[in-house]
């Protein structure tokens, strides 16, 4: 999608859109927010991977209300 220098492309969308980008290897950074709530169900983002995708933790930040932001890149 991005072949030239410039600002990052941020893809907003639902879980199926995110799954399609991940499965095609089009994501170079994952910004994951963890909220302190256990829902018991939801839509998986990584379910279309043919094999495990190792990720490297770039940074992590905890917030006062208990949320944690993690930034990962493919290893």
Instruction: Per residue of the chain (75 residues), give pLDDT as tens.
Output: 567 788 888 888 888 888 888 888 888 899 999 999 988 888 788 887 888 889 999 999 999 999 999 999 999
Is residue 58 included in any domain, yes or no? Answer: yes
Range of the domain at 68: 28-43+51-75
Q: Please state the domain count of the chain.
A: 1
As a whole number of angstroms, the distance between CA 69 and CA 29 comes to 13
> Does 71 fall in a domain?
yes
In-domain check, residue 23: no
- CA angle centred on 58, ends 9 and 21, rounded to 5°: 35
Give the containing element (helix H, strand E) for 18.
helix 15-23
C-alpha to C-alpha distances, 5 to 2, 10, 48, nearest whole angstrom = 8, 15, 29
pLDDT at 1: 59
Give the C-alpha separation, 74 to 51, whole Å: 13
């Amino acid at each position: 999608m991005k072949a030239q220098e410039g600002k990052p492309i941020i893809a907003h969308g639902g879980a199926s859109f995110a799954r399609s980008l991940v499965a095609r290897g089009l994501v170079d950074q994952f910004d994951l927010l963890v909220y302190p709530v256990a829902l018991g169900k939801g839509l998986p983002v990584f379910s279309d991977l043919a094999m495990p995708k190792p990720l490297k933790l770039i940074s992590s930040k905890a917030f006062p209300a208990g949320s944690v932001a993690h930034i990962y890149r493919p290893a």
